Amino acid sequence: MKVTAKAIVNSKSEEMDDDGNVKQATVSLFPDYADGRNKEWALYTPTLSVNMSLKGNVASFCKVGDHVTITFEVDDAEEQADAEEALAASEDVEVQG
């Protein structure tokens, strides 16, 4: 089972080396709800907060306001079956709001 969420880089803090180059950065990602992008995903998982550390020049690839796609995938076959069963059960629940 694979769940994909559209996120936006909400904040970024950088640690510089002695030469002024980015040594490491920490970025915070929050869901991007613009245009209903996460409507299906948010129905079952209404919140998301991800903090990620990036090293070296990879840190320069993420800027505040960037849009990213995060994919969560269950690797274990038994856990996969459990996740699919839970999702099927949740589809029987009426969501109000």
CA distance readout (Å), 10 to 13, 46, 77: 11, 17, 34
Residue ranges per domain, the chain? 2-90
CATH code for residues 2-90: 2.40.50
Q: What is the pTM of this model?
A: 0.64
What does the pLDDT look like over 1-39, one tens digit per residue? 677 888 899 999 999 889 988 889 999 999 888 878 788
Q: What pLDDT, in 10s, does the model give residues 36-50?
A: 878 877 777 677 889
